[in-house]
Structure 1
Amino acid sequence: MGSETGMGDPILANAIWIHQYPSKSRALAVTRNLTLKQDPQYQMQGFVRYKFNDRAAMHIGYSRLWGGQRTVDGTDLVDESRQAKILLGGSYFVTPKALLLATLGRDISVENGFKEASRFDLRVLYIF
């Protein structure tokens, strides 16, 4: 039905997430009744995948996180999160229904958060 070039098939994919925090919640309610507000936090990920054949592929990606600025009773806490990360990985169909996905990642820059020197994710996907 289809044809393969023998050189692989590059695929571009991206995703955007928005995390909306509750508009008002109480902070430090034990001592005073203060109001905590937090702006939405956004994350964008983009990947380029190179498909070697029907079973194996590799990917390279970039992730960016920003937002989440907090205020307490109108006072800005100056704690907006910013993060940039690069990712490299591959996937392999062990069987027609079982996929192994491995990704190695590293934070390039982080503001107001924890910086990961490196990470390794190994995932197994089984299609029912």
Structure 2
Amino acid sequence: MLKIITAALVMLSYGEAMALETAPGDYEPLPPNSNALLLYGQYAQSTDFYASGNKVSSNFRFHSEIGILRYIHAFALAPNAVIEPQAILPFGHLAAGGDASFLGSNSGVGDLILGAPVKVVINQAHDVLSLGPYVYFPTGTYNQNKSLNLGANRWQLLLQLAYIKHFAGNWAWDNIADVAFSSDNNQADSLGQSSSKRPRYEFQEYLRYNVTPTTTVGGGFGYVLGGRDSLAGQLQFDMQHELYTRISLTQFVGKSWQIQGELGRDISASQGFKENLRINLRLAKLF
């Protein structure tokens, strides 16, 4: 019975599970005509699995090792505004164990993401307002006969709105909200059935403090809502309600290198895997 329930619920991909989660300070604008090359390493593990708000198993093991390459170039639109076209390419490995071992494992490349957020400094306090469209191209590794995939086999459009409030000298408050729209996946499972997805929403709130001009600590919460699937015209019981937390440390090394470490976990989850550990590392080169 457990396999029947979870096989229907876990026919998800890394591409669908991944919204454009940000870290504290990500929406600070780059200087015009500058570039940023970023390399991310992300590790996450889960043991608990939930269905319709109820824990199905405490031994539903899943872990992911994901790398992400990201390139950004900033163009000036006005003295106080830039647009930052960028390309994002995930890659890595997904694996399940314990009660979830029947899901197997998979490795490969995720869906290519192209975005172009516009960032506007709106006052003398350097508060920032930004709106960014991101398009997910169905280019990632995908096999309809596998339960775990890095590609989503569907187009996705994500719109992300951000507002940064600076206050009390060294403090900043980051507010981010986004919504993701998806096309149908016409090869959603081994039977070749079609899957559609309702919009998925994510909200992120971070507070950060500049300990020194080169060192920043931050932390906050995120909430994911929606994303309910329909398989062969039948609504699935997989609507997401997920609350998570993150803490981070960001350090400049010299004028052009930046390293960032982030720890997190899920506080609550109503559907799917509940992460008990997440480690995000990032190396950035500014030029």
TM-score, length basis structure 2: 0.38
Q: Which has the higher helix share?
A: 2
How far apart, in 2, do the equivalents of 1:55 and 1:29 lie? 49
Q: Contact between 2:186 and 2:193, CA under 8 Å: does it hold in 1?
A: yes
Which of 36, 44, 50 aligns to 2:195? It is: 36
Distance (Å, rounded) in 1 between the aligned partners of 2:217 and 2:190: 52
Paired residues, number: 120
> Any idea what SS the aligned residue of 1:61 has?
strand
| Structure 1 residues 38 and 28, CA gap change in structure 2 (3 angstroms) | closer
Where 1:115 maps in the other structure, the secondary structure is strand
Is 1:125 the equivalent of 2:284? yes
Aligned to 1:26: 186
Can you give the 5+ residue segments of structure 2 that lack an aligned partner in the other structure?
A: 1-167
* Residue type at the aligned position of 1:36: S
Tell me: CA distance 1:109–1:71, structure 2 relative to 1, closer, same or farther (3 Å): same
- Distance in structure 1 (CA, Å) of the matches to 2:169 and 2:284: 22
Question: After superposition, what is the alpha-carbon deviation per residue over 1:91-119, rounded to whole angstroms, capped at 9, x for unaligned?
Answer: 11111111111111011011222111111
What is the deviation of 1:120?
1.4
Aligned to 1:116: 275
Tell whether the 8 Å contact from 1:107 to 1:117 is kept in structure 2 after alignment: yes
Change (3 A) 1:90 1:29: closer
Change in 2 beyond 3 A, CA 1:70/1:29: closer
Q: How many angstroms apart in 1 are the aligned matches of 2:190 and 2:260?
A: 46
Q: CA deviation at 1:126?
A: 0.9
Cα RMSD for the two superposed structures = 2.2
Q: For residues 83 and 30 of structure 1, what CA distance do their matches in structure 2 show?
A: 28
- Does the CA contact (< 8 Å) of 2:202 and 2:224 recur in 1? yes
**Shift, 1:73, TM fit:** 4.8
CA distance in 1, matches of 2:190, 2:172: 53
Aligned twin of 1:82 = 241
What is the CA-CA distance between 1:25 and the residue it aligns to? 4.3
Distance in 1 (CA, whole Å) between partners of 2:220 and 2:283 is 19
Q: Give the letter for the 1:54 counterpart.
A: P
Distance 1:27 1:95, change over 3 A: same
The DSSP-based 3-state class of the residue aligned with 1:104 is strand
Offset, 1:37: 2.4
Counterparts of 2:277 and 2:189, CA distance in 1: 38
Superimposed CA distance per residue, residues 47-84 of structure 1 (whole angstroms, 9 cap, x where no aligned partner): 10011121111001111111111223543212112211
The corresponding residue for 1:92 is 251
How do 1:2-81 residues align onto structure 2 when only pairs under 5 Å count? 9-22=170-183, 24-26=184-186, 35-81=194-240
1:104 aligns with 2:258: no
Letter in 1 for 2:173: L
Distance 1:17 1:40 in 2: 10
How far the C-alpha of 1:17 sits from its partner, in A, is: 2.3
Secondary structure in 1 aligned to 2:203? strand
Structure 1 position 27, deviation (Å): 5.5
The 1-side partners of 2:208 and 2:235 are apart by 41
